[in-house]
Amino acid sequence: MSALPRELQCMSTSGKTSFNRTFLGRLNLRFPWLKLYLVIFIGIAAILDLLDLTISRTNDPQDRISIAPMSKHVQITKRDIAGKKLIALTFDDGPSATTTPKLLNILKSRDVPATFFMLGNMARGNPDIVKRVSEEGHEVASHTMYHQNLIRISNDSAQSDINEAKSIFEDILGHAPNLTRPPYGNYNDNVRRAVNTPMILWSVDTLDWKKRDPDTIVSTALDQAYDGAIILMHDIYDTTVEAVPKLIDSMRQNGYEFVTIPELAKERGSSLESGVAYYNFRP
């Protein structure tokens, strides 16, 4: 018996072996501090978990809108928009393999975020550009799949067009866009239901698709600009891309700062409701 481990030397009268100490009991004798450490560790973990839930649980309705993280260059500069007039640059009908990268370079060099209302068929052919737009802190939004006039086609066709575009963006980005701009700004009750997102229109039309002159595009935008306005442009035209640097500089000289649509909406206290059309976000 003496050769057995000490824990096995206690025999009952019935001949069955019993342990004189439990595992936890032996552990407590050899490492009396361990139980205290376990209690402290569990307590800290519970506090951290509670803090995380408190931070995540917010009543801000904007949390329904997934805002793309700002790019590194924007994070470094920490754009100061407090007390400034705010305006949103939006670009339709892209992305273009030739003009959109040029535009992105300009926006990055001036720390300007924008909102891109992309066509699904254009995004499908340029997935890397779509990813770059998102990664550099801009908002990727839907302009439907084929730029059809949704109120002139059947309800089923409109729904199919919208859903096809959403599927393209999901494949590229892992999620569907949170904003939609119906082509030509046309919508009805069926379109409201079909898009199932806030609808973003515009209040400043540069007519860049028609005028194709950088100076005219800039002057048109400046003449119509106001705090909370949404500027409509198209990133598929070289003349538009040429106009953007001068437009940005002129706007900033006039006290404006640029924000994405979700940022503008949040600053103006808008919850961006699905099916609602927004033309501007005045103070």
Query: In which residue are the tokens 């393209």 written?
Result: 168
Distance CA 40, CA 50 (A): 15
For residues 42 and 50, is the Cβ–Cβ distance under 8 A? no
- Say whether 92 is catalytic: yes
For residues 224 and 230, is the Cβ–Cβ distance under 8 A? no
Q: How far is CA 200 from CA 14, 44, 55, 146, 195, in A?
A: 84, 45, 29, 18, 11
Distance CA 203, CA 225 (A): 8
**What is the three-class DSSP state of 14?**
coil
Q: Which residue of the set 143, 208, 234, 235 is catalytic?
A: 234
Q: Where are the extended beta strands (E) located within 1-109?
A: 85-92
The pair of three-digit structure tokens given for residue 274, joined into one six-digit string: 């699905």
The pair of three-digit structure tokens given for residue 124, joined into one six-digit string: 């499908």
Q: Which residue of the set 92, 111, 161, 208 is catalytic?
A: 92
First-to-final CA distance of the chain: 89
**What is the three-class DSSP state of 188?**
coil
- Say whether 234 is catalytic: yes
Query: In which residue are the tokens 């018996």 written?
Result: 1
**What is the three-class DSSP state of 200?**
strand
Q: Point out the residues that are catalytic.
A: 92, 234
